[in-house]
Structure 1
Amino acid sequence: MFVTKKHIPRRTFLRGCGVTLALPFLESMLPAQTPLRQTVASPGSVRRFVGIWHPHGAAPGYWSPLQEGSSFEFSFITKPLEPLRDRVVLITGLDATGSSPTADEPGGDHARGANLLSGARPRRDSVSPYLGVTIDQMIANKWGKDTLLPSIQLGIEDPGNNTGNCNWGYSCAYSNSISWPTPTTPLPTEINPRMVFERLFGDGASADERVIDRKRTGSILDSVTHEIASFKKGIPAGDRAKLDTYLENVREIERRIQNITSKPEASGTSFEVPFGIPANNDAHFKIMYDLIAVAFQADISRVATFMLGRDLSSTNFPPCGWNGPWHGTSHHGDIPANKANYSKINRYHVQNLAYFCEKLRNIPDGDGNVLDHVLIYKGTNMGNSHRHAHEKIPVELIGGIDGRFKGNRHLVFPDNTQRNSNMLLSILDLYDIHLDHIGDSTGRLPGFA
C-alpha cells in the first residue's frame, strides 16, 4: 500500500478550455495507511449496472445450452462468452408476461419492449404512456447519486419521428426508451457517440463553443496538458501508469470519433447520418460500449442502459456472416436454414457483449477489476420471435457484484413457472434495494443469488 502525507480527493478533476476531465480511482486518493479493501472501489462500496436491450428474441435451438448447472457447454449463440465463464449466468425458462397480448389487448407484440427493466405491462395509451420505474433508475438513485451522471442512456438506432401512436395504440415511448425514472417519464437514448463523449468530458459550454469543439483536430487532452504534467509529479509510479492507461483510452475513443466526423457521410449534411454517427454499425456498437467502459473507469457514472436496436429494426450486420435484415430474418418460419442464419445475428451481438466485458475485466478497480463490481443484463422480451412468443426469453447476466453473484451457471426453469419480473426483484436485492414486488412479479427467482 502506498502511504502519502496527504491524499487527493476522489472527486478530482482536471479542467481546461471546454474540458472537465474526471480521473480514475488512484491509490493516491486514499488517506494514509487506508487498506484497499476499505476504499471507494472496495467490495460493497461501488456497484454498477448495465441493462442491454435487443429486439426479436433468439433463434430456437441455438441459444439455450443443453446442460443445466455449472458443467454446461456454451451454445452456438453464447459461445463468445465462454472465456468469461466464471462471471456468466445464463437463464432459460423465464417469460416476459408483461409483454404478452391478452384477450382485452391483442396484438402489440412489438410495442412492449419497455417491459425489460420494469417488469410492468405498458398501458395501451398513445397520449399518456404509463409503465413503472425501471431497475436501472432505482440502482442509479442508490449507487449513482454521488457521480457526475447518475445514469446514461445509449442507443444505436434513431427513433426519428416515432412519437405518439406506434403500434396497436401503444405510445412510441415504449419502443424508444427502456429507462424510466417515473412511471410517466421515459428517458431518451443518445445514439451519437460524439454527444456522449461531450457529455462525459465537456464542461457545459455554450452551443457555439461546442460546435467549435467538434471541429477541433487536436485532443481534449491538449487543453489539460499542463494540468496533467503537474498532477503526475505528485503521485507514485503505479498511479502514473494507471492514469496513463486511462488517458490513452480517452484519446483512442476521441480519435475514433474524429475519424467518423471527418468523413463526408458524417459531416452533418445527410439526414440519415447525423454529425458524429458512424456509418458502420460495427464501429458504432464498439465505440458505444467503449464510452460506457470509460465512464465507469473514471466513475463518471455507474449505471448505463444500451438499446442495440428498436423493435421492427431492418438493420443488417454483414460481419456476422449473414446480410439479411434483423426483423425480417427473425421471422424464420421455423425453417432450419433460416434459423441458422438468424443465429448468426444473435451470436454477433453476443460477440460485441464479450468485447465489452473483456474491456471491463482489463480495467483495474480497487481490489479487482470493473467486471467484478458490475452486473450486466442483456435481454429481450421475446423468445421465438417468428411466433411472437414472449415465453422462454434468453437472459445473459455477466459480472460479480463484489462476490454477491456467482458465475458459471445455467439456470433452467420449467415452462410457465417464472417471469422476468421475478428476476428483476432478485437483481435489486444484489444492490440492497429490497421491494415486495416490481411490475407483475410473484416472488423472487429461486436460486438466483
Structure 2
Amino acid sequence: MPKTLSRRTLLRGAGVSIGLPLLESMSPNRLLSAAGKSSQPPLRMAFFYVPNGMHMPDWKPTQEGFKYQLTPTLERVADYRDQFNVLSGLTLDGARAHGDGGGDHARSVAAFLTGAHPRKTNGADIQNGISVDQATAQYVGDRTPFASLELGLEASAQAGNCDSGYSCAYASNLSWRGPTSPMAKEIDPGALFDRLFAGQTVKETKTALSIREKYRKSILDFALEDAKRLHRVLPTVDQRKLDEYLYAVRDVEKRLGGAERLRLTEDGVPDYPRPSGVPKELEQHSDLMMDMVTLAFQTDSTRILSFMFTNAGSNRSYKQIDVSEGHHELSHHGKSEHKQAQIAKINRFHLDRFAYLLGRLRSVPEGRSNLLDNSLIVYGSGISDGDRHNHDDLPILLAGSGGGRIKTGRHVAYKNGTPLCNLYLWMMHQMGADAKAFGDSTGLLSLS
C-alpha cells in the first residue's frame, strides 16, 4: 500500500491544478488517526433558494414522523425520501414588513440566510446582516481552496430599484459577507469549471486557458502524466475511484462544450474547444451547475455553498413545462385553480432540478457512505404562500444526514414561529463554528 496521501493532493500540469476526491489512501476510515479515532469525511453545508413561495397544499405533508405521505410536489424527490427531512413551522421574521410596507420578495431573499431585516432603500445605503454561509466560512473556510461558493442561474445586481423601494442588491444576492457587502453569484458553468480546475494563481490560469484555446485540449490532458503516476501507486479500490472521477470531470467538460452550438470550420473542426456563456435552456443550465456543485464538494474545493434558482420576484415563464405565464404573476393566484396548478408545476420543475443534484451527490461514494450523506443541504423559500406573502411555516427541506448526525426520512413539525435561524445555528455547530447565536435565533433547533 502506498504512503498515505494528503487530502490536499492535486494533479498538476501546465497551469492546471485538479483536486481529487476522498480516496482510501487519504487517511480512510480503516486507518486510525494519531488520536486513535477513525478519520471521517468532511461535512458540507449548502443552501438552495427558490423564489415566489410555494403552492403549500401540494408541498406540506399532513402527517408527521417517518410514516408521513409524500405530497404531489415532494413526490419528485421520492427516490431520496430516506435521505431528507421536511421541516415545517420555521419562520423568517426578518422578511416581514415591520412597518416598511411592500417588498416581501426582496426582503425574503435578503433575510433568508441572514435572519436580518434589511433597510428599505434603493440607494447605496444598503444594510442587511452577515449570512450563515459567510459566518460559518469565518470559522472553517480556510480549510479549503474556496472558503465558499455563491452560485445561481440569474446574474446578481448591486443597484437599482427591484421591489417596492428595495435595492436590487437585496433581491438578487443570497449571500452577504457583511451588512453592506453582498456576494455576487457565478452563473456561468464554464467560468466555474475554470475556477475549480485551472491554476492556483491568475498567471497559471491565464496560461492554461491560452494553451487550451490554441490546441483544443481537455483540461485533463495537461495533468495526464501526473494522473498516470498516481494511478500506478494506488490500491485497486482507489484506482477505480480515480478513474470514475476523471471520467466525470471529462464528461462535464464535454457537456460544457456542447452547451451552445459551435461554429465549424470548412473541415468540420470547431472554432473553439468550448464556448463561454450560459446555456440557453434552463434545465441544461441548472444541471450543469449541479454537476459543478458535485465536483466542488467531491474535490473538497469548498464545503460551503449557496445557490439561487432565480432572483426574487422572478416573472420567468416555463414554456418547457407548458407554463406560459410569468412565475411572479402566477404566485398572486387569488385562489384561482388554474394559477395554483401552474405554480405547482413550476415548484415541481425546480424540485426536479434539485433531485438531479441529490442523485449526483448520492452516486459519489465517500468513506463508508456518499457525498449526500456527508452533507447538510437546505432547500426552500423565504415566502410560504406567494399570494399571502407570509413568512411563517416556510417550505423547508433538509437533505443529507450530516455524516450520521441526524435521522432522515421524516416530516418534523415545529411550533409555528420557530426561527429559521435556530436551524442555521445548529448547522453552524455541526460544521465546527462555535457561535453563541445567529440572526434572530433563540437556541439550537432540535433534530433528534
TM-score past 0.5 threshold: yes
Query: Can you list the C-alpha shifts for 1:13-56, whole angstroms capped at 9, x where unaligned?
Result: 1212231111112222339972499999944x611011111110
- Alignment check: 8 A CA contact 1:40 1:46 kept: no
Per the TM alignment, residue 421 of structure 1 is displaced from its structure 2 partner at its CA by: 2.2
Specify whether residues 367 and 87 from structure 1 end up closer, same or farther in structure 2 by C-alpha distance, changes over 3 A only: same
| Structure 1 segment 426-437 matched on structure 2, within 5 A | 426-437=426-437
| Structure 1 segment 70-219 matched on structure 2, within 5 A | 70-103=66-99, 105-112=100-107, 113-125=109-121, 126-159=123-156, 163-203=159-199, 204-206=201-203, 209=207, 210=209, 213=212, 217-219=216-218
Q: Which amino acid aligns with 1:62?
A: D
Per the TM alignment, residue 311 of structure 1 is displaced from its structure 2 partner at its CA by: 1.2
Alignment match, 1:7:
4
Q: Which amino acid aligns with 2:66?
A: S
Specify whether residues 435 and 33 from structure 1 end up closer, same or farther in structure 2 by C-alpha distance, changes over 3 A only: closer
Separation in structure 2 between the aligned mates of residue 409 and residue 32 of structure 1, nearest angstrom: 28
- Alignment check: 8 A CA contact 1:60 1:339 kept: no
The percent of aligned pairs where both chains have the same amino acid is 34
Q: Which amino acid aligns with 1:27?
A: E
Query: Can you list the C-alpha shifts for 1:88-114, whole angstroms capped at 9, x where unaligned?
Result: 1112222221111122x1111122112
Where structure 1 has 5 or more consecutive residues not aligned to the other structure, the ranges are 265-273
Specify whether residues 83 and 384 from structure 1 end up closer, same or farther in structure 2 by C-alpha distance, changes over 3 A only: same
Separation in structure 2 between the aligned mates of residue 8 and residue 86 of structure 1, nearest angstrom: 33
| Structure 1 segment 218-297 matched on structure 2, within 5 A | 218-263=217-262, 275-297=276-298
Specify whether residues 395 and 216 from structure 1 end up closer, same or farther in structure 2 by C-alpha distance, changes over 3 A only: farther
Query: Can you list the C-alpha shifts for 1:45-89, whole angstroms capped at 9, x where unaligned?
Result: 611011111110001311101211111011111112222122211
Per the TM alignment, residue 354 of structure 1 is displaced from its structure 2 partner at its CA by: 1.4
Specify whether residues 32 and 84 from structure 1 end up closer, same or farther in structure 2 by C-alpha distance, changes over 3 A only: closer
Alignment match, 1:271:
none
Separation in structure 2 between the aligned mates of residue 329 and residue 211 of structure 1, nearest angstrom: 46
Query: Can you list the C-alpha shifts for 1:270-296, whole angstroms capped at 9, x where unaligned?
Result: xxxx93210010001111011010111
SS at match of 2:176: coil
SS at match of 2:221: helix
Q: Which amino acid aligns with 1:243?
A: L
TM-score by length of 1: 0.89
| Structure 1 segment 369-408 matched on structure 2, within 5 A | 369-408=370-409
Separation in structure 2 between the aligned mates of residue 362 and residue 342 of structure 1, nearest angstrom: 31
Alignment match, 1:412:
413
Specify whether residues 41 and 155 from structure 1 end up closer, same or farther in structure 2 by C-alpha distance, changes over 3 A only: farther
Separation in structure 1 between the aligned mates of residue 37 and residue 50 of structure 2, nearest angstrom: 33
Per the TM alignment, residue 122 of structure 1 is displaced from its structure 2 partner at its CA by: 1.1
SS at match of 1:371: coil
Separation in structure 1 between the aligned mates of residue 184 and residue 247 of structure 2, nearest angstrom: 30
How many positions carry a matched residue from both structures? Answer: 432
- Alignment check: 8 A CA contact 1:116 1:379 kept: no
Separation in structure 1 between the aligned mates of residue 30 and residue 206 of structure 2, nearest angstrom: 47
Per the TM alignment, residue 359 of structure 1 is displaced from its structure 2 partner at its CA by: 1.1
Separation in structure 2 between the aligned mates of residue 155 and residue 40 of structure 1, nearest angstrom: 38
Specify whether residues 41 and 193 from structure 1 end up closer, same or farther in structure 2 by C-alpha distance, changes over 3 A only: farther
Per the TM alignment, residue 128 of structure 1 is displaced from its structure 2 partner at its CA by: 2.4
Per the TM alignment, residue 427 of structure 1 is displaced from its structure 2 partner at its CA by: 2.6
SS at match of 1:181: strand
Separation in structure 2 between the aligned mates of residue 348 and residue 31 of structure 1, nearest angstrom: 38
Specify whether residues 81 and 42 from structure 1 end up closer, same or farther in structure 2 by C-alpha distance, changes over 3 A only: farther
Separation in structure 1 between the aligned mates of residue 35 and residue 362 of structure 2, nearest angstrom: 21
Per the TM alignment, residue 263 of structure 1 is displaced from its structure 2 partner at its CA by: 3.8
Separation in structure 2 between the aligned mates of residue 393 and residue 32 of structure 1, nearest angstrom: 38
Per the TM alignment, residue 189 of structure 1 is displaced from its structure 2 partner at its CA by: 0.3
SS at match of 2:279: coil
Alignment match, 2:271:
none
- Alignment check: 8 A CA contact 2:28 2:39 kept: no
Q: 1:49 aligns with which of 45, 66, 84?
A: 45
Separation in structure 2 between the aligned mates of residue 286 and residue 441 of structure 1, nearest angstrom: 34
Separation in structure 2 between the aligned mates of residue 400 and residue 39 of structure 1, nearest angstrom: 24
Q: 1:19 aligns with which of 8, 11, 16?
A: 16
SS at match of 1:115: helix
Separation in structure 1 between the aligned mates of residue 401 and residue 35 of structure 2, nearest angstrom: 18
Alignment match, 1:267:
none
Per the TM alignment, residue 319 of structure 1 is displaced from its structure 2 partner at its CA by: 4.0
Q: Which amino acid aligns with 1:85?
A: R
- Alignment check: 8 A CA contact 1:320 1:347 kept: no
Where structure 2 has 5 or more consecutive residues not aligned to the other structure, the ranges are 264-274
TM-score by length of 2: 0.89
- Alignment check: 8 A CA contact 1:41 1:366 kept: no
Separation in structure 2 between the aligned mates of residue 30 and residue 147 of structure 1, nearest angstrom: 17
Specify whether residues 315 and 213 from structure 1 end up closer, same or farther in structure 2 by C-alpha distance, changes over 3 A only: farther
Separation in structure 2 between the aligned mates of residue 296 and residue 23 of structure 1, nearest angstrom: 10
Separation in structure 1 between the aligned mates of residue 251 and residue 33 of structure 2, nearest angstrom: 29
SS at match of 2:312: coil
